[in-house]
Amino acid sequence: MNSLSVHLIPYFIPYLTGLISVALSAIGMTLAWGIYKHKQAKHIPALSEEKFRIMFETSPMGIVKNALDGRYLEANDTLLTMLGYSLAELNKLTYRQLSPQEYEPEESRQLENLRKTHRYGPFEKEYIHKDGHRFAVRLNGVLVNDSDGGQYIWSFIENITQKKATKAIDELIWQQTNFDLLTSLPNRHMFHDRLNQEIKKTHRNNRQLALLFLNLDRFKQINDSLGHGVGDEVLKKVAKRLNHCAREVDTVARLGGDEFAVILGNLEDFNTAESIAERMRDDLSKPFRIGSEIIYISVSIGITCYPENATTSEELLKCADQAVYYAKNQGRNRYSFFNPSMQEVAQKKMKLVNDLHTAIAEQQFYVVYQPIVDLNTGLIGKAEALIRWPHPTLGLISPSEFIPIAEDTGMIIDIGTWVFRQAAQQAKLWRARYNADFQISVNKSPVQLQNQDYHYESWASQLKKMALPGQSIVVEITESMLLDNNNLIDTKLREFREAGIQISLDDFGTGYSSLSYLKKFNIDYLKIDQSFVRNLDAHSDDMALCEAIIVMAHKLGIKVIAEGIETSEQRDLLTAADCDYGQGYLFSKPVRPEEFAKLFARDDNPVTAI
């Protein structure tokens, strides 16, 4: 290094002071260093070449001297290690050889700067290591007139590869913490932050805020029948449509699964919230094209208003959740504003959940049986087992009310197992005592069928242990089950079939009613839902529907049971339409086993007697 390197000291000092400052502050000497730095600034010119050399050699930053034509003249060890060359090797190279081509335009700009101002940088680029790999650097430099009369470029180079990687990881982590990977919408975490900010802002400005909570209707069916890939695509498109319906200032977030939330801040009144909700509902009900599939979905939306309904983010979300629940119960594909009475419904539900736990533990349930009558002979050949829950304080609670809750909470598995055992024991007794071919139908909820928990013994093996043939039980499932395009359902239905347990399709006509599924799954019985039977008269649409169902079912080798027969006219019409079985209050309400036994015991058949 020649003596003119000392000219560099004014440029070099800021780097070294920076670096040393980091080190010193790390050991708690920032204050002392501050004083030193102050003094140092005045004494820069006094630094000797010797001191400069020490700095050059020990600097954690790469330092290099280039000729104006790009040749490398001097470099410290830090830079040599960074590049993988010895000084002798480096001397044979020029700047261009270490620099990837794509940086040329930027380098020309920097050179231009250097010419004009005698400085360049700082800027970021990459170098090519001796082994060929690239690494990121940040560099700047100065143009120095040396004592030999020549001009040289001194550059200071920091390897920032590690820093960049750390920054990229930090960004990724931030992204993942705050955004939903699938839809790129803000996630639950970010949503809560934004909601809290919006609440504060709204409070300050004396404006209003609405929170929309959206839950797609029957989204699970899309996932189950068309696969998760299609489900994911639908969610992405839903996200786009929602964003499109919202205003620029609104936050549309995905809270998870098929749940979305929208924060509508700075509102003058809630009409805007209502029209946005309406737009979202309408937009989502338009078909989605995913590959070759055309998919229809709908959404239920709950709306809460700040500060009317609640003042904290948690409360707002809770109220919106209750409003969605209400919208779902009202028939889905709609929005509902929260009102305090919904809280009562939610509280009642929560109480029922608790009470159901107790009911299971204390075995508060009992099973009633309703005869299923052969319409040709009038004989009772089967019965449906139906659960009853006499609540200790609320009285008898309808299964239509508590079964959905049991399904939501998974308690249906225990309840269903218990009902099955009761029914099987009853079948055993009645087969032995009254009718060797007697069958009992047991309702099986979709949640039970989808449950993969092998901890529960299969119905087939339980029957075997009780020395009961499979034919003594019929499993009643609902249509929606067959739409689930998953192998588990297929396997479970096959297991039933192999064990001789027959399959009955409950509430036919209320769901998707696809006859092709009936054929595919080998259904034995089809139960026409009572809503068709209720208003039956000879010339009604319902009559035409019942007749059509019966004809088609028979073509597929399926027997038909009509539910909810309450009058002899309904029975006669259905018998005339060739319906195989009937069930309803006309024959008997669901009754306790002792009562049911009396139906068997009557000498003249109870059914023909009606």
| Binding-site ranges for Mg ion (CB under 5 A) | 443, 476, 506-507, 563
Residue from 198, 233, 250, 506 binding ligand C2E (CB under 6 A): 506
Q: Which of 520, 515, 517 is nearest to 553 (CA)?
A: 515
530 binds ligand C2E (CB under 6 A): yes
528 within 8 A of 562, measured Cβ to Cβ = yes
Closest distance of CB 443 from ligand C2E, Å: 4
Residue from 584, 599, 606, 607 binding ligand C2E (CB under 6 A): 584
Q: Which stretch binds ligand C2E (CB under 6 A): 143-151, 158-166, 241-249, 583-591?
A: 583-591
Q: Which of 340, 328, 320 is nearest to 408 (CA)?
A: 328
Could you tell me how many residues of this chain bind ligand C2E (CB under 6 A)?
23
Residue from 416, 509, 582, 606 binding ligand C2E (CB under 6 A): 416
Angle at Cα 414 formed by Cα 410 and Cα 420, nearest 5°? 130
Closer of 313 and 588 to ligand C2E (Cβ): 588
Q: Report how far residue 65's alpha carbon sits from residue 262's, in angstroms, rounded to the nearest whole number.
A: 58
Angle at Cα 369 formed by Cα 365 and Cα 373, nearest 5°? 165
Closer of 470 and 584 to ligand C2E (Cβ): 584
Structure tokens at 604: 């003249």
When CB distances are held under 5 to 8 angstroms depending on the partner's kind, the choice from Mg ion, ligand C2E, none that residue 304 binds is: none
Angle at Cα 410 formed by Cα 405 and Cα 412, nearest 5°? 70
330 within 8 A of 315, measured Cβ to Cβ = no
- 575's CB contacts (< 8 A; 6+ apart) are 375, 376, 582
Closest distance of CB 471 from ligand C2E, Å: 20
Closest distance of CB 584 from ligand C2E, Å: 3
Closest distance of CB 555 from Mg ion, Å: 23
Residue from 51, 551, 585, 598 binding ligand C2E (CB under 6 A): 585
Closest distance of CB 599 from ligand C2E, Å: 15
- Contact string 342-381 vs ligand C2E (x = CB under 6 A): ----------------------------x-----------
473 binds ligand C2E (CB under 6 A): no
Closer of 416 and 509 to ligand C2E (Cβ): 416
Query: In the 8-state DSSP scheme, what is residue 524?
Result: S
Closest distance of CB 580 from ligand C2E, Å: 17
Reduced to 3 states, what is the DSSP secondary structure of residue 397? strand
Query: In the 8-state DSSP scheme, what is residue 581?
Result: E
Beta strand 380-391 with 439-443: parallel, antiparallel or unpaired?
A: parallel
Burial class (CB in 10 A: 0-12, 13-18, 19+), 423: buried
* Cα-based distances in Å from 511 to 87, 324, 479, 481: 81, 22, 6, 10
- Contact string 437-456 vs ligand C2E (x = CB under 6 A): ------x-x-----------
507 binds ligand C2E (CB under 6 A): yes
List interacting residues with ligand C2E (CB under 6 A). 370, 386-387, 398-400, 403, 416, 419, 443, 445, 476, 506-507, 530, 563-566, 583-585, 590
